[in-house]
Amino acid sequence: MYIRSLELRDFRSWPELKVELEPGITIFIGRNGFGKTNIVEAIGYLAHLSSHRVSADAPLVRANATDSRISAVAVNQGRELAAHLLIKPHAANQGQINRTRVKSPRELLGVIKTVLFAPEDLALVRGEPAERRRYLDDIIATRRPRMAGVKADYDKVLKQRNALLKTATIPLRRGYGTDEGAAALATLDTWDGQLARLGSEVMAARFALVQELSSQVHDAYQTIAPESRPAAVNYKTTIDQGLSQFPGFDAGIIEATLLTELAAKRQREIERGMSLVGPHRDDLELHLGGQPAKGFASHGETWSFALSMRIAEFNLLRSDGTDPILILDDVFSELDAGRREKLVVIARDAEQVIITAAVSDDLPANLADAITARHTVTVRDTDDGRISLLDEQPETQP
Ligand SMILES: Nc1ncnc2c1ncn2[C@@H]1O[C@H](COP(=O)(O)OP(=O)(O)O)[C@@H](O)[C@H]1O
Ligand SMILES: [Mg+2]
């Protein structure tokens, strides 16, 4: 698929951006801090309903503005869909598809599919498990939008269950001996049931995804870093480790295992005042040779691993039938010659690629001849603060 037109209003440093895009390679060039990443962040937000840089919406809205708009027309095998999102930092966001308001912005998931590779991806390897869970859940949501709703429901249940464990510590400790304790435990039972039901769906989807991804990551890494040791990924759960040994495991088995584990850990959960069982405690383990990548991988290996995970994601989405839009945010300057070449091969073959770079020199020579469109990002200082501009000469400063 490709994006035919992109419009932003009051998104980050952009009061207004209107740009027509084409299939092939489009590049946005501009100095650091001028607003290039803001553009691809907006596209990524439309695709995933979250930013790769911040977890809250407020920083996305331009300073002094009340809300942000992101609109894009996507062309998928000849069929056009217009996606439109209104981001309100202090209220629910609103989505539209082809000018019709949708019940939840989540209905936009899957309309635009992107794979974004950015410097922040080093955190996939070095960062906390939450980064890697997000990687998995984003891919799942793009391929199976319904699962985003399941995950959101899970997060809500988890939040309420944690609140109960925190606020009802005393009655929960007293147990069934008191009316208050019995009531709190009954509420906890209800949350347990919901956590297990929703959590098992989340986990089953992740298990299945990791099974598909593992050979893709292994092969991508081998291609990028043939001199390095083999890369492997596997899903690590806090519940019965044996579970991961069953390929084709179903949500029912996982749900039962979660319930057993919740019962076994109940006392500890009450003592600690938090939920210790469920997909929010899981991780995607990354290995190089026999060692965990985190803490052992060199800087170059870390880049290769992160890139392999993005290439695997790209190939997986492509195998579903349509090319996702490949976005490369300021990454060429970070990669050595060998890795650049590998990335160029993929970029030249993808339906649409959007690249940002500070200077043209950062781009590999064999990419230059494949570029279909080139835009410059500049800034202007106004009474309303510094704003980003596309394809305009900056005003000469007095
Ligand atoms: N909410 C916002 N309102 C106005 N400007 C913002 C906002 N968020 C970020 N910016 C500005 O955007 C700029 C960074 O843009 P970015 O796209 O990351 O730059 P780069 O071109 O280096 O990728 C910074 O100058 C920052 O001040
Ligand atoms: Mg940037």
Q: Is the confidence at residue 158, as pLDDT, over 90? A: yes
CA-proximal residue: ligand 1, atom 16 (nearest): 35
Query: What's the pLDDT band for 245 if we cut at 50, 70, 90?
Result: low
pLDDT tens sequence across 257-306: 999 999 999 999 999 999 999 999 999 999 999 899 998 999 999 999 99
pLDDT tens sequence across 164-219: 999 999 999 998 999 999 999 999 999 999 999 999 999 999 999 999 999 999 99
Q: How far apart are CA 35 and CA 11, in angstroms?
A: 10
Quick one: what percent of the chain has pLDDT higher than 70?
96
Nearest to 208 by CA among 260, 143, 274: 143
Q: How far apart are CA 215 and CA 312, in angstroms?
A: 9
Burial class (CB in 10 A: 0-12, 13-18, 19+), 260: middle
Contact (Cβ atoms closer than 8 angstroms) between residue 365 and residue 334 = no
Q: Return the half-sphere exposure (C-beta side, CA atoms, 13 A cut-off) of residue 18.
A: 0
pLDDT mean over 120-128:
97
Task: Collect all residues with Cβ–Cβ distance below 8 Å to 17 and sequence separation of at least 6.
Answer: 6, 7, 8, 9, 11, 39, 388, 390
- Rounded to the nearest angstrom, the distance between the alpha carbon of 328 and the centre of ligand 2 is 10
- Per the annotation, does 37 bind a ligand? yes
- Per the annotation, does 289 bind a ligand? no
pTM summary value: 0.95
The residue whose CB lies within 8 Å of the most ligand 1 atoms, and thus the one to mutate among 10, 13, 381, is 13
In the block, tokens 């839009």 appear at: 325
- Rounded to the nearest angstrom, the distance between the alpha carbon of 35 and the centre of ligand 1 is 5
Q: Is the confidence at residue 102, as pLDDT, over 70? A: yes
- pLDDT confidence of residue 243: 62
- pLDDT confidence of residue 10: 98
CA-proximal residue: ligand 1, atom 5 (nearest): 13
Task: Show the ligand 1 pocket: residues with CB < 6 angstroms.
Answer: 12-13, 30, 32-38, 59, 61-63
- pLDDT confidence of residue 129: 97
pLDDT mean over 148-160:
98
- Rounded to the nearest angstrom, the distance between the alpha carbon of 383 and the centre of ligand 1 is 16
- Rounded to the nearest angstrom, the distance between the alpha carbon of 187 and the centre of ligand 1 is 46
pLDDT tens sequence across 292-349: 999 899 999 999 999 999 999 999 999 999 999 999 999 998 888 888 988 999 999 9
